[in-house]
């Protein structure tokens, strides 16, 4: 094997700043992933219509709180909230896993139609944890 190739740094070492003779990387290397701010996680503990306590977290918890806050006005996927991207899925999860009754009313707009979801079940919030 050629002596030049034997001592040459790998492509990864070169990218991290190793010198051409294969010595250690010079200085501090940049982290591969940029540091992210930690996301807030929300957990809601509640009592459902059957009197059974349940806990939901994340986007589903945000949808439950939005449904309760909206009351008879309901919520739609047209809201500029993060939970609205998969609203129908989150509503379905609340219906199937927590046995909540959520009405769907269809409305039209310029580009088609959308559902408006209204919580019909009685839900009592015990605790909201946001960290």
pLDDT per residue as tens digits for the range 4-17: 555 666 666 666 66
Quote the mean pLDDT of the chain. 82
Mean pLDDT of 30-52: 82
Residue 32 pLDDT > 70? no
Q: What is the model's pTM?
A: 0.68
SS in 3 state form for the chain?
CCHHHHHCCCHHHHHCCECCCCCCECCCCCCCCCCCCCCCCEEEEEECCCCCEEEEEHHHHHHHHHHHHHHHHCECCCCCCHHHHHHHHHHHHHHHHHCCCEEEEEEEECCEEEEEEEECCCCEEEEEEEC
Model pLDDT, residue 82? 72
Mean pLDDT of 32-46: 80
Contact 105, 72 (CB under 8 A): no
Where are the chain's structural domains? 1-36, 42-130
Model pLDDT, residue 78? 81
Chain-centroid distance, C-alpha 117? 20
Residue 48 pLDDT > 60? yes
Model pLDDT, residue 44? 97
pLDDT per residue as tens digits for the range 80-109: 777 778 999 999 999 999 999 999 999 887
């Amino acid at each position: 094997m050629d002596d030049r190739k034997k001592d040459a740094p790998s492509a990864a070492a070169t990218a991290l700043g190793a010198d051409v003779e294969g010595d250690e990387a010079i200085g501090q290397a940049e982290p591969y992933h940029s540091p992210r701010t930690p996301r807030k996680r929300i957990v809601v503990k509640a009592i459902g219509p059957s009197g059974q306590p349940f806990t939901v977290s994340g986007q589903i918890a945000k949808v439950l709180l939005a449904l309760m806050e909206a009351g008879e006005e309901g919520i739609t996927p047209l809201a500029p909230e993060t939970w609205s991207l998969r609203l129908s899925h989150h509503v379905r999860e609340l219906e199937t896993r927590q046995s909540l009754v959520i009405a769907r009313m269809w409305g039209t707009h310029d580009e088609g139609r959308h559902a408006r979801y209204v919580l019909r079940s009685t839900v009592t919030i015990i605790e909201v944890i946001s960290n």
